[in-house]
């Protein structure tokens, strides 16, 4: 699911939609699977509102698009009147250039990371092609890095089954909610500040690698530049009030 500034779209449900029961059941299951796939890629699909008829779906899609979102219909089934019932998936449009880099941002991913680390920790260590901040809690490797560090092999494995797309607004939602850490379904979590840095360093089109409990989180851009973030073990138990689940952060800015 995906969260942004709240689009002000609304609709009223059709009171008695007419449909073929068998076609509806089959189409509904396929639509839910497609919705789950899109949510894993950073989209919001508000299935709890129920299906929209063709006219409702078109109207709602246009409304969210005019508010800076991209949207797509997930068809469920054709109704007796010829309209197609659908869910609508939406996510904010990335304000980026053709390379996925935030508008107005200059320099390479490497230089941006080094600048942030120096401002925060005072120095950026480069060991065997990998830059790190204090105590190695966050690091960076350029796409052409050839380090023998095991982190690179771990990262390669993580991106064979990625978690999905990093949602910059979800991270901002969490920070605005005064949270410090984010979790991805496990007791261990990650510092939100470093995920915010990921969007500043790598751009808007960032992929999250496979998330595993107690292991580093890997994120990279289409060019192959990568950041890794050290886990905080048992953050759910030790810092519960300062921690938010990524899915809740995503939903924090969705349509009410």
To the nearest 10°, report the CA torsion of 9, 15, 20, 25.
Answer: 60
Q: At residue 18, does pLDDT exceed 60? A: no
Confidence at residue 207, expressed as pLDDT on a 0 to 100 scale: 92
> What are the domain boundaries of the chain?
21-92, 109-251
Q: At residue 1, does pLDDT exceed 80? A: no
Among 39, 36, 90, 43, CA closest to 63 = 90
CA gap 205, 213 in Å, rounded: 24
Q: What is the mean pLDDT of the chain?
A: 76
CA gap 215, 189 in Å, rounded: 9
What digits encode the pLDDT tens for the residues 70-115? 788 888 877 777 778 888 887 766 543 333 443 333 457 888 888 8
What digits encode the pLDDT tens for the residues 136-168? 788 898 888 877 788 888 888 899 989 988 988
pTM, two decimal places: 0.57
CA gap 57, 73 in Å, rounded: 7
**pLDDT-based confidence at 170, cuts 50/70/90?**
confident
Confidence at residue 130, expressed as pLDDT on a 0 to 100 scale: 83
Confidence at residue 145, expressed as pLDDT on a 0 to 100 scale: 81
* Average pLDDT over every residue of 155-182: 88
Q: Tokens 């890997």, residue? A: 218
CA gap 119, 109 in Å, rounded: 16
**pLDDT-based confidence at 218, cuts 50/70/90?**
very high
Cα 213-162-71 angle, rounded to 5 deg: 120
Cα 20-21-22 angle, rounded to 5 deg: 95
CA gap 89, 75 in Å, rounded: 11
Q: At residue 54, does pLDDT exceed 80? A: no
**pLDDT-based confidence at 135, cuts 50/70/90?**
low
**pLDDT-based confidence at 24, cuts 50/70/90?**
low
**b vs e for 119-130, b when ≥16 Cβ sit within 10 Å of the residue's Cβ?**
eeeeebeeeeeb
């Amino acid at each position: 699911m995906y969260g942004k500034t709240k689009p002000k779209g609304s609709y009223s449900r059709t009171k008695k939609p007419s449909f073929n029961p068998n076609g509806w059941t089959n189409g509904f299951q396929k639509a839910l699977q497609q919705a789950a796939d899109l949510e894993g890629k950073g989209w919001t699909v508000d299935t709890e509102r129920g299906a929209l008829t063709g006219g409702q779906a078109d109207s709602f899609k246009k409304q969210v698009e005019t508010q800076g979102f991209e949207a797509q219909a997930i068809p469920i089934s054709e109704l007796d009147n010829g309209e197609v019932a659908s869910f609508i998936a939406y996510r904010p449009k990335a304000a980026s250039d053709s390379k996925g880099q935030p508008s107005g941002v200059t320099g390479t991913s490497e230089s941006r990371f080094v600048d942030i680390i120096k401002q925060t920790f005072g120095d950026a260590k480069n060991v065997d092609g990998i830059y790190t901040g204090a105590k190695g809690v966050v690091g960076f490797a350029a796409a052409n890095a050839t380090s023998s560090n095991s982190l690179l092999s771990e990262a390669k494995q993580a991106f064979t089954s990625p978690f999905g797309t990093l949602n910059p607004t979800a991270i901002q939602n969490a920070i605005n909610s005064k949270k410090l850490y984010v979790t991805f379904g496990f007791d261990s979590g990650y510092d939100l500040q470093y995920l915010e840095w990921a969007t500043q360093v790598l751009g808007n089109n960032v992929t999250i690698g496979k998330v595993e409990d107690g292991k580093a989180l890997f994120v990279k851009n289409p060019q192959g530049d990568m950041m890794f973030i050290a886990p905080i073990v048992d953050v759910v138990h030790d810092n519960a009030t300062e921690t938010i689940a990524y899915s809740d952060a995503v939903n924090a800015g969705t349509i009410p």
